[in-house]
Amino acid sequence: MKWTAIRKDPGSPKQSPHLSDYQATLADFSWDNIRRELPSLPGKKGFNIAHAAVDCHAEGQLAKHVALRWLSQSDRVERFTYGELKTLTSRFANVLHMLGLGRGDTVCTLTGRIPELYIAALGALKNTSVFCPLYSAFGPEPIYQRMSRGDAKILITTRRLYREKVAKLLNRLPLLRYVLLVDLEEHEDSRLLSLPRLMAKVQDTFTIPSTDLEDIALLHFTSGTTGMPKGALHVHGAALTHYLTGKYVLDFHADDVFWCTADPGWVTGTSYGILAPLLHGITNIVDEADFDATRWCNILESQKVSVLYTAPTAIRRLMRLGAEPVKSYNLSHLRLVQSVGEPLNPEAIVWGQEALGMPIHDNWWQTETGGIMIANFPAMEIRPGSMGRPLPGIEAAIVRRSEDGGAEEIETPGTQGELALRPGWPSMFRGYLHDEERYRSCFASDWYLTGDLAKRDGDGYFWFVGRADDIIKTAGHMVGPFEVESVLMAHPAVAEAGVIGKPDPVVGELVKGFVSLKSGFEASDALRLELIAFTRKMLGSAVAPREIEFNQHLPKNRAGKIMRRLLKARELGLPDGDLSTMEE
Ligand code: ATP
Ligand code: MG
């Protein structure tokens, strides 16, 4: 399949990239310069994310600028200026301090996307505690797993979530000192406290203790796509990456209105749903509600969103609507759309051009990397189907693991291997919680090995092939599921596709595709044969799926990723494995 490159139109008023020349920016780049663009804590007391993201703006010209614009489930809009956010987060930090929580203590939240979540995140960072957001739709067991592994000392939640999910866990969580309820009027007992009461009792100002770039700030669990979620630890210095990528990839400018659709329970929802936009002093949209195509279009229009950061799963759901309904909205403020989390099928990029009037930019990173590492920058030509090129300050390579446990770089363009990064970028994870051995096993020959397979072309663009665990070995070929899924998605009937290798005595593994159909299409043998013929024409018979199964409910995790391991386990009649992050 040939997808032509999309060039940005240099004269377009919608584009105002910070980075106009990739090579020149690389040559000039240093992390020290980025560090100098961010404020230090007063009195040579180091660097604290929340100070840089909130207080320094509140103390300057942005005091009255809207930091958070929160849209409630029922369409109420609440605005918080940088000045107000400073006060609220200082109060929350005082609450933590009063309750005896300090440096390195884990503060968990289990709430929907409500203002208290954002206040707690930034307040915990001010207090040099470790912020660990939990996704509110988790059931009791995944909540217990994460809180106990994370040594949670305090939990912020709602009365309903407490009653339904947390109450029964309390005696299994001996380290948990307090539960603060955002909607409780009076303290219930010595452990169950009212957050509004505590907030009313403390002072408006808080002196941030000295904070080191290397102090642990965030604990994020991975999405559990490939197995049991891992707890990745990040430091205050990670903000350098958030700031850098806000500048170059999301192209933030002073009057931007930014919307990151991810929940803070996933790393994207914290790195970009809270920190990056505030580090840049712009207005951040938070929507309490879950995905709904019409609601999303309304928000883009009514809130005048200029930069959108979302995920392929949402884009595919918008695509089900077709381009026409989306085109009926006034999206003239929208300037840039970026996507992360899963491969972005070229088809989606073409759809973006038609429906939104601009291509969708793909970028790649992981919970472990803390921030975007590889991206299609606004200032460069997009190659649909490619994740783009490494950020300034990031060295990426394709490597081959050697028998002696090392890793060798593969220089030849177009060769498939494991995607690796040179350790040392500021938001690199500093460990997997309570799993030093697993952490160490991610590094070899001075590379961090990502577990993803990719190729690099002659111009330095990286192309995602698949997760190392998902690669299909069929009749001597290595097939990446993404390539096959993208072709399936190019067929007009297909909404989503997941491709796996199914053990086969003759070819080793045969390629099997699971597809869900767009509305208006019916599963039938004729369509199955048509899809097989369609993929054969595009991919050749060695790579095209031999089997296709229709499934309107492809298993996904809550981060919206198709769980191929589950498709495979179910195909083979094996146990499901960890389902804690699975979507209902
Ligand atoms: P787990 O590690 O628990 O299995 P996970 O890897 O899905 O879960 P995350 O850290 O949220 O958890 O996701 C990172 C992974 O998502 C990457 O390693 C990659 O496989 C995939 N991914 C992210 N962005 C892209 C992208 N633009 N293209 C292709 N894959 C992507
Ligand atoms: Mg992973």
Q: Looking at residue 4, what is its pLDDT?
A: 45
Q: Looking at residue 6, what is its pLDDT?
A: 52
ipTM over 0.85: yes
User: Amino acid letter at 178?
Assistant: Y
Judge if the beta carbon of residue 342 lies within 6 A of ligand 1.
yes
Per-residue pLDDT reduced to its tens digit, 98-152: 999 999 999 999 999 999 999 999 999 999 999 999 999 888 988 998 999 999 9
Determine the residue of 145, 218, 223 to mutate for testing ligand 1's pocket, defined as the one with the most ligand atoms within 8 A of the Cβ atom: 223
User: Which ranges of 249-311 would DSSP assign to H, the alpha helix?
Assistant: 267-270, 276-279, 293-302
User: Amino acid letter at 322?
Assistant: G
Judge if the beta carbon of residue 429 lies within 6 A of ligand 1.
no
**Distances from the Cα of 204 to the Cα of 31, 84, 187, angstroms:** 34, 10, 21
Which atom from ligand 1 is nearest to the alpha carbon of 267?
11
Q: Looking at residue 554, what is its pLDDT?
A: 94
Q: In which residue ranges of the chain is pLDDT below 50? A: 1-4, 7-13
Residue with tokens 């990397």: 369
Q: How far is the CA of 356 from the centre of ligand 2 (A)?
A: 30
Whole-angstrom distance, CA of residue 236 vs CA of residue 254: 23
Whole-angstrom distance, CA of residue 391 vs CA of residue 411: 19
Please, what CATH class does the domain formed by 472-571 belong to? alpha beta
Beta bridge partners of 500: 512
Judge if the beta carbon of residue 265 lies within 6 A of ligand 1.
no
Phi first, then psi: give them for residue 510, nearest 5 degrees: -105, 150
**Distances from the Cα of 317 to the Cα of 285, 304, 308, 312, 543, angstroms:** 21, 21, 16, 8, 27
Fold of 46-290: Rossmann fold (3.40.50)
3-class secondary structure for 89-113?
HHHHHHHHHHCCCCCCCEEEEECCC
Q: Looking at residue 560, what is its pLDDT?
A: 83
**Element at 145 (helix H, strand E):** helix 140-149
Judge if the beta carbon of residue 271 lies within 6 A of ligand 1.
no
Per-residue pLDDT reduced to its tens digit, 17-65: 777 778 778 888 999 999 999 999 998 889 999 999 999 999 999 999 9
Per-residue pLDDT reduced to its tens digit, 486-522: 899 999 999 999 999 999 888 889 999 999 999 899 9
Judge if the beta carbon of residue 362 lies within 6 A of ligand 1.
yes
Q: How far is the CA of 119 from the centre of ligand 2 (A)?
A: 28
Tokens of 524: 């039938």
Q: Looking at residue 226, what is its pLDDT?
A: 78
The sign of the dihedral angle between the CA atoms of 552, 317, 313, 77 is negative
Whole-angstrom distance, CA of residue 54 vs CA of residue 83: 8
CB atoms inside a 10 Å sphere around CB 335: 21
Query: Among all ligands shown, which has an atom nearest to the Cα of 559?
Result: 1
Q: Report the largest interatomic distance among the alpha carbons of the chain, rounded to a whole angstrom.
A: 73
Under DSSP, the state recorded for 565 is H
Q: Where in the chain is the domain with CATH 3.30.300.30?
A: 472-571
Under DSSP, the state recorded for 5 is P
Q: Looking at residue 289, what is its pLDDT?
A: 97
**Element at 198 (helix H, strand E):** helix 195-201
Residue with tokens 């979507």: 583
Q: Where in the chain is the domain with CATH 3.40.50.12780?
A: 46-290
The overall pTM is greater than 0.95? no
* Strand ranges, E, within 294-334: 307-310
Whole-angstrom distance, CA of residue 435 vs CA of residue 231: 9
Whole-angstrom distance, CA of residue 363 vs CA of residue 338: 7
Q: How far is the CA of 428 from the centre of ligand 2 (A)?
A: 14
182-206 burial: b if 16+ Cβ within 10 Å, else e: bebeeeeeeebbbbbebbeebeeeb
Phi first, then psi: give them for residue 396, nearest 5 degrees: -115, 150
Q: Looking at residue 9, what is its pLDDT?
A: 47
CB atoms inside a 10 Å sphere around CB 213: 17
Determine the residue of 427, 452, 462, 563 to mutate for testing ligand 1's pocket, defined as the one with the most ligand atoms within 8 A of the Cβ atom: 452
Whole-angstrom distance, CA of residue 199 vs CA of residue 219: 24
